[in-house]
Chains A and B, each alone.
Chain A
Amino acid sequence: MSVYRSKTEGTNRFHEDLYGDDYACQPKETDCDTNNYQSAPAYFENSFSPNFGEASVVQDGDEYSYMEQESAEVIWVKESCNITVNSTDTQISASLQAALQLAISIVIRLSIADSADEEAVEQELMQTISSSQVNKQKIFIYNTKDATVTTTDTDISVNIQLLLQILIALVIMIDIL
């Protein structure tokens, strides 16, 4: 208890030194604010730092313009041998997703002549299906021999299915199919 007290006293004194007596109360608020902002990103960085294991595969996802999607994958391999890591699936699905997004925007662009409406419709369609998706995977392999790791981003394959459905619904609606 006494230790905690002396600590807060210490920080107060620090502020008094800086700002003088007049600001004794006010800086407390701002102090709290800046602390919050600083600590959050620092934790995030730390949790994905590659320094943990002997070998690491760090894969950072892409961000698309319409859908907020983030995919981060960290795989630690420690004290192991003959480990095969397979994450190509994710790459294929990412490009497929991009193709579908492009197709939807092409259909909208061609069919809706009014450019203001066109943009609104496109954005709204994309926003409805996924406002924000963050996918983080951490895999830790320790003391292992002859293992194969295959990672799949389930979020992205759900997205692909949805995008295709939207594309087909769109196309049916404007009587192409």
Chain B
Amino acid sequence: MSESSKKVNMPDKLVEVMVDSVFRKNGIKPEEVKNNLSEKQREMLKEMVADLKQQVEEFQQKRNESKTEE
């Protein structure tokens, strides 16, 4: 069951390459972008991402649970 839901996942590397290509196409250099963020913003974004990641994981887990019940 959980295998079938894993199958639809995109490989992380693929997404990474995609984001990189979009950056490149628009002439954005990650090294320059880093300097635009203050330490406080960085911390906030980090928390936000961690929180969302947790929510998604919970959601996927719930879905898998309800599927295995049936």
Please report the number of residue pairs spanning A and B whose Cβ atoms sit closer than 8 angstroms. Answer: 108
B52 to chain A, nearest CB (A): 6
B20, A124: Cβ atoms closer than 8 Å: no
The DSSP consensus for interface residues of chain A is helix
A110-B36, A162-B10, A176-B46 as given contacts; A152 in contact with B26, CB under 8 Å: no
For window 124-167 of chain A, which residues contact chain B by CB distance below 8 Å? 124-125, 128, 150, 152, 154, 157-158, 160-162, 164-167
The reply to whether the CB of A106 lies closer than 8 angstroms to some CB of chain B is yes
Query: Given A106-B45, A128-B18, A173-B20, is A112 in contact with B28 using a C-beta cutoff of 8 Å?
Result: yes
The chain A residue with its CB closest to the CB of B53 is: A164
Whether B33 contacts A111 by the Cβ 8 Å rule is: yes
Flag A64-103 by CB within 8 Å of B: 1 or 0 each.
Answer: 0000000000000000000000000100110010011001
| Size bracket, chain A contacts | 35 or more
A6 to B46, CA, bound (A): 74
* Stretch of A26-34, A47-55, A113-121 at the chain-chain interface: A113-121
Whether A18 is near chain B, meaning CB under 8 Å from some CB there, is: no
**B15 in contact with A162 (CB, 8 Å):** yes
Identify A121's interface contact among B12, B28, B46, B70, CB under 8 A: B28
Q: A110-B37, A158-B8, A175-B30 are in contact. Are A99 and B52 (CB under 8 A)?
A: yes
Nearest CB in chain B: distance from A171 CB, A: 5
Known: A89-B63, A170-B19. A100 touches B36 (CB 8 A): no
Which B residues fall within an 8 A CB radius of A? Answer: 5, 8-10, 12, 15-16, 18-20, 22-23, 25-28, 30, 33-34, 36-37, 41-42, 45-46, 48-49, 52-53, 55-56, 59-60, 63, 66, 70
